[in-house]
Amino acid sequence: MSKIKQKFSELEAKNEKALISYIMVGFPNERATLSAVKGLVKGGVDIIELGFPFSDPMADGPVIQHASTISLEKGTKINNFFNLVKKIRKITDTPLVLMTYTNILYSRGYPKFISEAKKAGIDGFILPDMSIEESEEYLKAAKGKTDTIFLISPNTSKKRINEIANVTSGFLYLVAVYGTTGVKAGIKNYTLKAIKEVKKQTRGKIPVGVGFGVSTPADVKKYISVGADAVIVG
């Protein structure tokens, strides 16, 4: 059982849901990242999502884009990142998910990157620009090593949800709002409806996490109240 799956099982046994927190590594520096991780662990976060900077982060809003730019300017590289993850692993055994873009892995080679990431302490990947049609080579390399968390949106068809859920592990990531990450104006009814429908469709086979535009504790409570198994905040 993967560390992420084990975490959800532990929470389910206690009738609890998961709080997943996102931070951009290397922003504004490595020391700050380690300090943030310590704070998240102390605060009781269940899973930590580590963003690795990319020059064209299409899924991210202006705040995370800015953090990504600063991190790159400060010299964040893959090897630095793996060393940082090893340091984080000395602090906590909290599941760690790497969110970045496909080219970061592809340029190093999927098997090599995934093996190095796993060895450092990464438990799963979120690659927002990777479609399931393009994922065969990646999934082959990740099988048995790390979880792969694919994204769906409120307007994803039922057929497509089934296809994505069949190759997703760890949890299914439901994007709460259309557009990029960041603060949005209130909870949308279409999101609440989507959570209910996705939960019904997946029938408990995989946890459903909701992220993008989660701005307040009230947002978290509302998403949980309609069936979300996890909420992602960053």
**Which residues make Cβ contacts (< 8 Å) with residue 50, sequence separation at least 6?**
22, 23, 25, 81, 85, 96, 97, 98, 99, 122
What are residue 40's phi and psi, to 5 degrees? -65, -45
Question: Does residue 73 carry a catalytic annotation?
Answer: no
What are residue 121's phi and psi, to 5 degrees? 135, 10
What letter does residue 133 receive in the DSSP assignment?
G
Q: Quick check: 234 and 23 in contact, CB under 8 A?
A: yes
Tally of CB atoms within 10 A around 8: 24
Question: Does residue 60 carry a catalytic annotation?
Answer: yes
Using CB atoms within 10 Å of the CB of residue 121, give its burial: 0 to 12 exposed, 13 to 18 middle, 19+ buried.
Answer: buried
- Give the chain's length: 234
User: What Cα–Cα distance (Å) separates residue 190 from each residue in 9, 158, 174, 223?
Assistant: 28, 15, 12, 12
Question: How far apart are the C-alpha atoms of 141 and 139, rounded to whole Å?
Answer: 5
Annotated catalytic residue: which of 49, 123, 147, 229? Answer: 49
Annotated catalytic residue: which of 12, 30, 46, 60? Answer: 60
Residue with tokens 């310590």: 38
Residues with a known catalytic role:
49, 60
